[in-house]
Structure 1
Amino acid sequence: MTRESLPAGFRPRQPAPADLIAWPADFGTRFVVFVDVEEEFDWARPLSRDNRSVEAVAALPGAHARFAAAGVPLALMIDDPVATDARAIDLIAPLLTGGSVAGAQLHPWVTPPFDEELSPRNSFVGNLPRDQEAAKIDALTDAIAAAFGTRPTAYRAGRYGIGPATFELLAERGYRLDSSMRPGFDYAHEGGPDFSAFGNHAFRIGSLIELPSTTVFTGLARGVGKGLYRAAGRVPKGRGLLARTGLLQRIPLTPEGIPIAEALEAIRVAVGEGVRVLNFAFHSPSLTPGHTPYVRDDGDLATFWAWWDRVLAELDRLGVRPCGLAELIDAAG
């Protein structure tokens, strides 16, 4: 089967027990915070190659200072419009201290070369032919290295769009960690990958560390969460009914669209289930009102920061300590 004829819904191989990372005992339970540092665009409109404004990056130094004051380093996952904007580079470069690092986040629709048709399916870079995916990874990697003087070693595919060749391409280019998998989510209906059967534990894919974005099932039926949630998706309003009755909810660890009470419960469940690294994430345009559906005005921004205050306090109460990516990679061995 050729790459072009692959069916929609790439399903990565499940990790074997031996692939799961055995963290050192003294590593404890940790958390990381990823920021998808990217251009602004209207999330309700079709993707465009012309969306290259990065004005919201101006809010990133203030956000970095708030996290740094709490001892939390940031993994700044930078895409091409940011990595090639002189003002954005000047704003971000001083932030790469204290464990904060620049990683790569690939939005194929704004990352050269533009040899592919602009389409929903091709917005998942792993759907492209291998040479096209490789060329985009190279362009983004080189742009970040030129901007900040260091080649990135952590990667995230925009829209979580990995494919059959992605991990080999990353390993060939010296990447050490990928964070493109989103457990409990299935993008096959859009032509993207299916992560619905994956868990939250970090594991190895060859020489790479895969650190999934933490997603927790809560509720009375969470013990059968993955299967029940998939089945409910085939019933009109089935997942909403599960949530309203308290049987089952799918909670990603993000301030974007997740109420604080649900997030705190998800954190407690994840820690109770033995997840050793909790992976939080948000988009940099959410730091300025009006750029994402989650932060539309100043009130939403205040709620965003109050969410983080409560979450960081709960993590501290539970003894879950922050971790930078370099420290995490070293601990993985």
Structure 2
Amino acid sequence: MRGTATPARTAGEISPPAKAEFLRWPEAFGSRFCLFIDTEEEFDWSRPFDRNARETTAVAALPDAHRRLRDGGAAPAYLVDHPIATARQAIDAIGPLVEAGASVGAQLHPWVNPPFQETVDHHNSYPGNLRPALEMAKLDLLSEAITTNFGRRPRIYRAGRYGIGPETLAGLAHRGYRIDSSMRARYDYRAAGGPGFARIGNRAFRRDGIVELPLTTIFTGMLRALGPALYPMLGPVPKGRGAFARARLLSRVALTPEDMPLAEATEAIRIAAGEGIRLLNFSFHSPSLVPGFTPYVRDPADLARFHGWWDGVLAELARLGYRSTNEAELIEAIDAAG
């Protein structure tokens, strides 16, 4: 008799929060924005995952980028993975920023994070697809490296490739983490073997002992009110999403300078403000600060547009009354929240 294969472990579709799970920010918190930077090694996004791809030369651009963002009113937090947390040049570049008050958290890229017990492949690139014991063993080594080399125990986490698993949040809470920011609102990675966030919106919520701060995604266009239901339906339609976006009927806009035009981002911010979203969560990948390392910044002209994007976005946030927030302020507000 032939045995039955064990199905692959995945998070599947993440259920939306119940009403009781939503976080109610204190009134004094006001309207805020945070910036969590995926601070990671350089690798060729078009090639298979490689344990030996651990170069961290792009960190040399971080101090200047940090200054520019701080001058514009942002408070960058660096979610570092294992190559960053253990490379001397990365520690030397980021350490002074942390000493000056920047936040440092954890980001888990399992293929370059020991212990190395799994096959390096697409499925296992999502850390939540690993056995829970291995996922947490990797997180423990990463957390210790960050604590040792940056002098602070990380309290913010992001799964590499947004790849949380069924036990990730509870495991984080057990280890003293306070915030997870792995869920990318309104995105669905199930077809590629990852989790699905199509039913996750932009509001913070509590689950399994931790607070989830989803990466902000805003629907724009004349049909934006129908976005949560309509956008997934357009996926199987050939060129359907593109046609609706060109007709200004419906677009999905993530708050990142990577492949999101400035005009669309500022429109999304205005819509978010009008909808009363109290916290906006921005992100980008640190190698985008140097041309040639990501698909989003290929040459100096792209880099100039990247910095110009931030200039325009930060000016719009200030105009609308959004102030930056950091890890300490977030946790203080979480403790005071209903």
> Normalising TM by the smaller chain, what interval?
over 0.9
1:152 is aligned to 154
- Contact kept, 8 Å, 1:75 with 1:100, in 2: the verdict is yes
1:297 is aligned to 299
1:174 is aligned to 176
2:311 is aligned to 309
- Which residue of 195, 198, 205 maps to 2:197? 195
- The alpha carbon displacement at 1:70 in A equals 2.7
1:125 is aligned to 127
1:234 is aligned to 236
Deviations 1:38-78 (A, max 9, x none): 00011111111111000000000111111222332111000
- The alpha carbon displacement at 1:207 in A equals 2.4
Equivalents in 2 of 1:203, 1:261: separation in Å?
29
Closer, same or farther in 2 for the Cα pair 1:16/1:99, shift >3 Å?
farther
- The alpha carbon displacement at 1:6 in A equals 5.0
Equivalents in 2 of 1:108, 1:8: separation in Å?
15
1:274 is aligned to 276
Equivalents in 1 of 2:60, 2:168: separation in Å?
31
Equivalents in 2 of 1:120, 1:17: separation in Å?
35
Indicate yes or no: 2:259 matched with 1:257.
yes
Equivalents in 2 of 1:260, 1:150: separation in Å?
34
Equivalents in 1 of 2:7, 2:140: separation in Å?
24
Q: Which letter maps to 1:35?
A: I
2:102 is aligned to 100
- Contact kept, 8 Å, 1:74 with 1:99, in 2: the verdict is no
2:25 is aligned to 23
1:75 is aligned to 77
Equivalents in 2 of 1:280, 1:104: separation in Å?
16
Q: Which letter maps to 2:291?
A: P
Deviations 1:287-310 (A, max 9, x none): 111111111111111100111000
Equivalents in 2 of 1:174, 1:270: separation in Å?
31
Equivalents in 1 of 2:243, 2:74: separation in Å?
37
Unaligned runs of 5+ in 1: none
- The alpha carbon displacement at 1:206 in A equals 3.3
Closer, same or farther in 2 for the Cα pair 1:87/1:7, shift >3 Å?
closer
Equivalents in 2 of 1:242, 1:70: separation in Å?
34
- Contact kept, 8 Å, 1:99 with 1:324, in 2: the verdict is no
Identity of aligned residues (%): 55
2:55 is aligned to 53
Equivalents in 1 of 2:311, 2:199: separation in Å?
32
- The alpha carbon displacement at 1:13 in A equals 2.9
Equivalents in 2 of 1:304, 1:268: separation in Å?
20
Does 205-214 or 67-76 show the bigger shift?
67-76
- Contact kept, 8 Å, 1:73 with 1:99, in 2: the verdict is no
- Contact kept, 8 Å, 2:14 with 2:199, in 1: the verdict is no
Does 211-220 or 236-245 show the bigger shift?
236-245
Equivalents in 2 of 1:70, 1:170: separation in Å?
32
2:145 is aligned to 143
Deviations 1:70-115 (A, max 9, x none): 3321110000001010121011110015542110000011101111
TM-score (normalizing by structure 1): 0.97
2:207 is aligned to 205
| Matched residue SS, 2:185 | coil
Q: Which letter maps to 2:249?
A: L
1:247 is aligned to 249
- The alpha carbon displacement at 1:9 in A equals 5.5
1:324 is aligned to 326
| Matched residue SS, 2:253 | strand
- Which residue of 279, 288, 291 maps to 2:290? 288
- Contact kept, 8 Å, 1:182 with 1:214, in 2: the verdict is yes
| Matched residue SS, 1:5 | coil
| Matched residue SS, 2:44 | coil
- The alpha carbon displacement at 1:242 in A equals 1.1
1:110 is aligned to 112
- The alpha carbon displacement at 1:237 in A equals 1.2
Unaligned runs of 5+ in 2: 1-5
Equivalents in 2 of 1:97, 1:202: separation in Å?
28
- Which residue of 70, 85, 88 maps to 2:87? 85
1:62 is aligned to 64
Equivalents in 1 of 2:306, 2:101: separation in Å?
23
- The alpha carbon displacement at 1:32 in A equals 0.4
| Matched residue SS, 2:188 | coil
Q: Aligned residues, how many?
A: 332
| Matched residue SS, 1:332 | helix
| Matched residue SS, 2:196 | coil
